[in-house]
């Protein structure tokens, strides 16, 4: 299922049934950070204006657990008067092979800081500490921080349902179910915030601009070394925000341009889950190609698509090909 929505909220092209709902997984991370901005914590950011954009980027990331990520998350926690012991995201081995191997050689095990979701959890904890809310129960769906996030997702997706369907994500937080069209709407207003719905009876345009700018300025924080999200944003140099989610979810925001004066939001779901993360680059690049949103050098786009299949002897055995056509 693929949906492309312009900045006015209109679906301009699609493939498949874009009304079917799926758990947003990590594609929701930019919007899970909005309470941090709504409460004005960015204006009194404890690490100063120079660090703000990179800190916001890592707080909406699915990072690879590299030292640049874990050190930044630890610094945000410390500056906010928090510790890593408060993180309830769990621990897993870093996605970044070099970092994982370094831990193994040193005989160390990963901590919660290495979790790809540690930044997101840190942002939520900072809001809870500021508000005087329970830190111990912040992952509970009925906790005030999660109720706020539910309402933000509902408003910006224009799927006003009380409550939205919900699952528990891999990092123990609620993940809400939204259609691919609704997710595309969310990413459209990330690129063109002038049309965003009110959140908590407030305009959020300036805050969405901050999030888009932070992610596109620091793509290395959103994913990491050799990660597709990071490479895609580096290639488009500030014109595109990209965010992956588990089980085949993906979303992109394209800034206003000649072809799309109000920008576009793109969302798709790969039904088999794409658990080796090989298909979504092919699909993402093909969607952009069909929309005419491309890089000047076709070879760069081909490299981003990473379509070649190789076996354990590094022999080329096939390739992934897209077969869909946007309506």
| Confidence at residue 296, expressed as pLDDT on a 0 to 100 scale | 82
User: How far, in Å, CA of 117 to CA of 54, rounded?
Assistant: 15
Where do we find the tokens 């969302």? 267
DSSP string spanning 9-25? S-EEEEES-TT-EEE-G
| Confidence at residue 52, expressed as pLDDT on a 0 to 100 scale | 97
pLDDT in tens, 197-220: 999 999 999 999 999 999 999 999
| Confidence at residue 108, expressed as pLDDT on a 0 to 100 scale | 97
Alpha helices in the chain (DSSP H): 29-32, 34-38, 49-59, 67-79, 97-105, 118-131, 144-157, 180-191, 205-217, 219-222, 228-236, 279-291, 298-305
pTM for this prediction: 0.96
User: How far, in Å, CA of 231 to CA of 219, rounded?
Assistant: 8
| Confidence at residue 297, expressed as pLDDT on a 0 to 100 scale | 86
Where do we find the tokens 């699909």? 283
| Confidence at residue 325, expressed as pLDDT on a 0 to 100 scale | 95
User: How far, in Å, CA of 228 to CA of 224, rounded?
Assistant: 9
| Domain limits, the chain | 2-40+134-319
Tell me whether strands 21-23 and 166-168 are parallel, antiparallel or unpaired.
unpaired
The fold of the 2-40+134-319 domain, in CATH, is Beta-lactamase (3.40.710)
Tokens of 88: 């309830």
Q: Is 71 left (phi over 0), alpha (psi -120 to 50) or beta?
A: alpha
What distances in angstroms separate CA 294 from CA 115, 287, 298, one per listed residue? 32, 10, 8
DSSP for residue 140: S
| Confidence at residue 49, expressed as pLDDT on a 0 to 100 scale | 84
User: How far, in Å, CA of 181 to CA of 267, rounded?
Assistant: 7
| Confidence at residue 50, expressed as pLDDT on a 0 to 100 scale | 84
**Full pLDDT tens readout for the chain, 327 residues:** 999 999 999 999 999 999 999 999 999 999 999 999 999 999 998 888 889 999 999 999 999 999 999 999 999 999 999 999 999 999 999 999 999 999 999 999 999 999 999 999 999 999 999 999 999 999 999 999 999 999 999 999 999 877 999 999 999 999 999 999 999 999 999 999 999 999 999 999 999 999 999 999 999 999 999 999 999 999 999 999 999 999 999 999 999 999 999 999 999 999 998 888 889 999 999 999 999 999 988 888 888 988 889 999 999 999 888 899 998
| Confidence at residue 58, expressed as pLDDT on a 0 to 100 scale | 98
């Amino acid at each position: 299922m693929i949906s492309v929505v312009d900045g006015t909220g209109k679906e301009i092209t699609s493939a498949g049934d874009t009304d079917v709902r799926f758990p947003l997984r990590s594609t929701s991370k930019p919007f899970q950070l909005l309470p941090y901005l709504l409460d004005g914590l960015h204006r009194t950011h404890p690490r100063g204006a120079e660090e703000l954009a990179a800190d916001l980027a890592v707080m909406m990331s699915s990072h690879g657990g590299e030292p640049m990520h874990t050190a930044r998350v630890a610094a945000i926690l410390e500056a906010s008067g928090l510790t890593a012991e408060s993180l309830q995201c769990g621990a897993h081995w870093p996605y970044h092979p070099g970092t994982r191997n370094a831990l193994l050689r040193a005989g160390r095990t990963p901590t919660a800081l290495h979790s790809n979701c540690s930044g997101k959890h840190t942002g939520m904890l900072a809001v809870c500490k500021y508000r005087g809310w329970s830190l111990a129960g912040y992952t509970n769906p009925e906790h005030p921080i999660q109720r706020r996030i539910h309402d933000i997702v509902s408003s910006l997706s224009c799927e006003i349902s009380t409550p939205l369907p919900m699952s528990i994500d891999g990092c123990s937080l609620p993940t809400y179910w939204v259609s691919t069209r609704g997710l595309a709407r969310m990413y459209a207003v990330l690129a063109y915030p002038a049309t965003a719905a009110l959140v908590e009876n407030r305009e959020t345009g300036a805050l969405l601009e901050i999030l888009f700018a932070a992610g596109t300025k620091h793509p290395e924080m959103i994913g990491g070394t050799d990660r597709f999200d990071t490479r895609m944003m580096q290639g488009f140099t500030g014109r595109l925000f990209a965010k992956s989610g588990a089980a085949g979810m993906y979303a992109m925001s394209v800034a206003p341009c000649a072809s799309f004066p109000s920008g576009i939001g793109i969302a798709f779901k790969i039904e088999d889950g794409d658990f080796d993360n090989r298909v979504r680059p092919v699909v993402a690049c093909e969607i952009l190609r069909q929309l005419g949103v491309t890089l000047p050098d076709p070879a760069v786009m081909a490299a981003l698509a990473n379509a070649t299949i190789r076996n354990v002897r590094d022999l080329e055995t096939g390739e992934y090909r897209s077969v869909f056509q946007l309506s």
